[in-house]
Structure 1
């Protein structure tokens, strides 16, 4: 596949709305950090070593008779805007997007698997799935990991396990995370208590793009923090138990809000839908907040005319990289806000074709 295939706004397979508990858990991610024995870590290797690792990993993956087909892309050959779009689709990390030495990504055609080469570690194997599927997604990642290990000399120590650039990843090298939409816990101001509880349990809460990113649209990533001293099964079981409890708490908070403040909620949801359909200027923060309200309205049965898969596409559309990708040029913040509003109107307004036929106002940006 060429790169354009992966730059489209259509929601990828891991955003399928039919996933388990998909009204709250948007996706599951498993990431395995691995390094090759005999090479220095990316923090200190040379350009020549980086290129050797890229070549070795790519050859190993292409030698595997796997059901997935992969496409290989070199990061330094990508324009910065295309890198940003791949970050927004969670196919590469913000750190990999900044790499100038020999770094690359191999992406499966259905966008559920990506292998980042020469990010913080030599390999970052990432598998994504819709809804809550920790065991299933880990099985997929582990299968690919074992296949690659037959061709690659992993850096492994009998005492410490898999060796990684960052000590927090030593051991299993496993980072399991779920992306959750928690509007009711946020609205009822219970999210701080949840965050504190997770910290005590050795879990971490991050924003939509992981470490260092902000919470947008009441979406949080919850993941394990400890990889050493626990088996993969223990890490997954602990996270599964925590997520199931959070789902229960979010459902309880939604029921309480619906019971006690239905009219207020209906007003909030419909106002948000109106803004998305008709606003002419929209920041990414406002768009994310409105989409969160509409999604909760759909989940509660208050809003019926907007399919969830359309909301998933809108979540991708509102990101700065995608807005500029559609515009075909780099835009200033104010220009992005106008173009973002235009894209949302076109996506959500059921009378869009009629309006366009009558000469709906367009912005030259």
Structure 2
């Protein structure tokens, strides 16, 4: 399978379908950290050790008879292509550092990503659309069980799976849900909710994980504890927190509609106008406007715009994908111009399709 397949398509598997509570929960991710016995962690291993780990993991999967996997070595990809894989949430920013001698094995539908030589020797990642913690975990667990039968995992009877970062030791599992929380952000309730979530053993980050911001009001909520709790208990705790957030967001949306409907509609339609007609569109403004339009669609205020188009534009707007699509390196201003052109073109073609469907 060619790298071009993953470069050309903006929308990944988790963006093409809808799961439970998909108006708020955009995706569910399970990540399992594993290491091989007998090798130092990536932070301290040699090039020879990195190559041996890569060879063992890739051989286990690619010679298993399973079809639909693509293998990519980070050092063999141009920087821009590595950046695009990050923007599509297929690899972590850490993996793109070529000094790590990293690689990734991707499933054809892009729901499964196995990162080799990231912070740990193996990072198994499954992403599902909407709120599907159990399904995503079952998929990741099945891949983990297969690899554990093929490879000598570093495991301790007292501490569980041994990992590079002590906070991941134990189950080695990070479960997360990516949530669109515009109403809580608009009403500033998110500022008091985040500390409360932390007291429950969860953490709230931006959509690209630790250290990232939350452009477009998109937040990632995940577990902090991996030691001393079984996987099912971690999933249950995260599910309960996510359901509370969903309820708070729905309530905030209802309050905005009942108390400030005209002001809210004005805000949402202005944002639709911006992405439809703007000639310069910075990434921050694009993210904010996409968030507003998404909210407008979910509330039934904005019609004739397909949510899948917004998912596509959410990836298209990123600097790496823009330049990959343009086939050239772009300055910041050139990216803003090209981003605006892409948005106008994509939304105009969608409106034409909708108009033709109505005539038929």
Q: Distance in 1 between matches of 2:22 and 2:280?
A: 30
- Structure 1 equivalent of residue 177 of structure 2: 178
Q: Distance in 2 between matches of 1:228 and 1:63?
A: 33
Q: Distance in 2 between matches of 1:70 and 1:259?
A: 50
Q: Distance in 2 between matches of 1:203 and 1:18?
A: 25
- Structure 2 equivalent of residue 50 of structure 1: 50
- Aligned 1:65-104 pairs, distance under 5 A: 65-66=65-66, 69-104=68-103
Q: Distance in 1 between matches of 2:260 and 2:211?
A: 34
CA contact (8 A) 1:224 1:235 kept: yes
- Structure 2 equivalent of residue 122 of structure 1: 121
CA contact (8 A) 2:322 2:335 kept: yes
- Aligned 1:158-177 pairs, distance under 5 A: 158-177=157-176
- Structure 2 equivalent of residue 359 of structure 1: none
CA contact (8 A) 2:205 2:220 kept: yes
- Structure 2 equivalent of residue 358 of structure 1: none
CA contact (8 A) 1:320 1:336 kept: yes
CA deviations on 1:232-265 (whole Å, 9 max, x unpaired) are 0110000000001100110000011011111111
Q: Distance in 2 between matches of 1:17 and 1:23?
A: 12
Q: What is the Cα-based RMSD across aligned positions, in Å?
A: 1.4
CA contact (8 A) 2:13 2:109 kept: yes
CA contact (8 A) 2:10 2:88 kept: no
Q: Distance in 2 between matches of 1:152 and 1:350?
A: 50
User: Which TM-score applies when normalising by structure 1?
Assistant: 0.94
Question: Which SS does the other structure have where 1:30 is aligned?
Answer: strand
- Structure 1 equivalent of residue 142 of structure 2: 143
Question: Which SS does the other structure have where 2:99 is aligned?
Answer: coil
CA contact (8 A) 1:9 1:317 kept: no
Q: Does 1:277 align with 2:279?
A: no
- Relative distance call for 1:242 and 1:46 in structure 2 (3 A) is same
Q: CA deviation at 1:100?
A: 2.4
Question: Which SS does the other structure have where 1:22 is aligned?
Answer: coil
- Structure 1 equivalent of residue 3 of structure 2: 3
Q: Distance in 2 between matches of 1:227 and 1:170?
A: 6
Q: Structure 1: which 4+ aligned runs deviate by more than 3 Å? A: 63-66, 350-354
Q: CA deviation at 1:331?
A: 1.1
Q: Distance in 2 between matches of 1:162 and 1:112?
A: 24
Q: CA deviation at 1:52?
A: 0.5
- Structure 1 equivalent of residue 199 of structure 2: 200
Q: Distance in 2 between matches of 1:333 and 1:82?
A: 18
Gaps of 5+ in 2: 354-360
- Structure 2 equivalent of residue 286 of structure 1: 285
Q: CA deviation at 1:199?
A: 0.6
Q: CA deviation at 1:351?
A: 7.8
- Structure 1 equivalent of residue 358 of structure 2: none
Q: CA deviation at 1:13?
A: 1.3
CA contact (8 A) 1:64 1:148 kept: no
Q: Tell me which protein shows more helix as a share of its residues.
A: 2
CA deviations on 1:78-126 (whole Å, 9 max, x unpaired) are 1110000000000000000123242100000000000000000000000
CA deviations on 1:1-45 (whole Å, 9 max, x unpaired) are 100100124311111342111110000000000000011110111
Q: Distance in 2 between matches of 1:112 and 1:248?
A: 27
Q: Distance in 2 between matches of 1:27 and 1:351?
A: 24
- Relative distance call for 1:22 and 1:351 in structure 2 (3 A) is closer
Question: Which SS does the other structure have where 2:150 is aligned?
Answer: coil
User: Which TM-score applies when normalising by structure 2?
Assistant: 0.96
